[in-house]
Amino acid sequence: MCRRLFPFLLFLWASSILLAQSMHDFSGVYLRNPPKSSTRVVSKTQAERIRFWQELDQVLGTGSPLILQATQTADSIVVTRIQNNARATSYYYFNGLEFKKAQSAGYKGLGRAKLKGNTLLTEADVPLPWSTRMTKTFKEKWVLSADSRILTIQPLPFGRAETYTRQASRDAALARTSEASLMNKCVCLRWPSPLNDLSKREGEAELGFTAYRELNTCVLFDAGLWGEFFNGLERNDTPNGTQFCKSGQVVSEFPDQVILQVATKAINCAAEDFWTLPMVSSALAFPPELLGLRFRISWRGSTARDLGELQSEFFIERSSDLRAPERFYRVGVPSDGVPLTDNLEIRILTKAGNQIGCIRGHI
């Protein structure tokens, strides 16, 4: 009897060794690679709008790097995603009994997982952002490269696959994300024409905008200058340089003071094509961290003029339709003798003084 049982036990032991060797360990720290430009086909009437939001999505993806840290055990895989100042942890259980125990204990961020060789399948029911009762099931397929350096995550049944590169440590990944983050860079993103055409914006001159992403929340800051001075002001770009005219006369300098307005908006960008969603359905409750913002201002161009931190006022402009109310800050900016071709640099700080964005733009 023992002689018959021994080969069977040996076979089970060998099979378990082979199975263990075939199962990949996804533990590690990964940094998401910059997204590729979208190739989505749209109608001609939507082309300009969709193309702009696709480009913005790519800018956000590059300027809001995402860290993924996974810890795998025999029973579960714990996944923490870190993006700018936000982080979220999810628990995926291989064992159905352990999953039910976590559910009964009231744990959040729960899901189920299966291992198949070098492939990990995850599934989780996530509450929809506009409902407290409805959920959507999210499924993903994780695949590690042969050398375990590249992790590919594919949403199921379809969606845009993302690739991640393994990092030496979380500290190393955090250093790289800080360097690339839009929160720490002065940029000037421009809305598509004719939104930035001076002649079509009476009393207003667009400077540009910036944005950042924290997991499922995207925040936009849109800056412009306001005042009677900008009524009828025209910009002409010639081979010899930029010239501004008003009432047939050449104008070269700003008035003694201009009003800077910085509008801010939070958008739910959990969906892959979030730019196609109506703003009324994708608008979020105004995040408390966007209250009490501070602004450090300087002129950059022919001469550098640092104005330091200037006092601001916060306004809420109620909308007459279903759109979320406009929320913005206004700052009086000294501008006597400043050439119209100079850039205004706006560093946006939280109430605690942490920088969360910077716009450097010109009219």
Mean pLDDT is highest, among 115-124, 225-234, 345-354, for 345-354
Asked if residue 216 and residue 74 are part of one domain, the reply reads no
Residue-wise pLDDT for 257-300, tens only, equals 999 999 999 888 876 655 544 444 445 577 888 999 999 999 99
Residue-wise pLDDT for 9-23, tens only, equals 444 444 444 344 456
Asked if residue 223 and residue 318 are part of one domain, the reply reads yes
Give the C-alpha separation, 69 to 169, whole Å. 10
Is 17 inside any structural domain?
Answer: no
Is 4 inside any structural domain?
Answer: no
Asked if residue 191 and residue 152 are part of one domain, the reply reads no
Asked if residue 323 and residue 188 are part of one domain, the reply reads yes
What average pLDDT does this structure show over 188-192? 83
Is 11 inside any structural domain?
Answer: no
Asked if residue 94 and residue 33 are part of one domain, the reply reads yes
CATH code of residue 41: 2.40.128.20
Is 339 inside any structural domain?
Answer: yes
Number of domains the chain contains: 2
Q: How far apart are the first and last CA of the chain?
A: 91
What is the sign, positive or negative, of the torsion defined by CA atoms of 350, 353, 358, 359? positive
Is 220 inside any structural domain?
Answer: yes
Decide: pTM greater than 0.85: no
* Domain limit, last residue, from 117, 147, 180: 180
Question: What is the span of the domain harbouring residue 120?
Answer: 25-180
pLDDT of residue 35: 78
Residue-wise pLDDT for 130-188, tens only, equals 556 777 889 999 999 999 999 999 999 988 899 999 999 999 999 999 999 999 999 88
pLDDT of residue 241: 87
Asked if residue 220 and residue 92 are part of one domain, the reply reads no
Q: Which range has the worst mean pLDDT, 120-134, 177-191, 205-219?
A: 120-134
Residue-wise pLDDT for 53-103, tens only, equals 777 778 888 899 999 999 999 999 999 999 998 999 999 999 988 888 888
Asked if residue 251 and residue 197 are part of one domain, the reply reads yes
CA angle centred on 221, ends 40 and 280, rounded to 5°: 60
**Position 306, amino acid:** D
Asked if residue 77 and residue 55 are part of one domain, the reply reads yes
pLDDT of residue 305: 95
Is 253 inside any structural domain?
Answer: yes
Q: Residue 156's Cα: distance from chain center in Å?
A: 22
Give the C-alpha separation, 312 to 350, whole Å. 13
* Domain limit, last residue, from 180, 203, 238: 180
* Domain limit, last residue, from 180, 206, 238: 180
Is 269 inside any structural domain?
Answer: yes
Asked if residue 277 and residue 208 are part of one domain, the reply reads yes
Q: Which two tokens stand for residue 59?
A: 């800018």
Is 6 inside any structural domain?
Answer: no
Q: Are 123 and 93 in contact (CB under 8 A)?
A: no
Asked if residue 123 and residue 32 are part of one domain, the reply reads yes
Q: Are 260 and 362 in contact (CB under 8 A)?
A: no
Asked if residue 48 and residue 137 are part of one domain, the reply reads yes
Asked if residue 345 and residue 238 are part of one domain, the reply reads yes
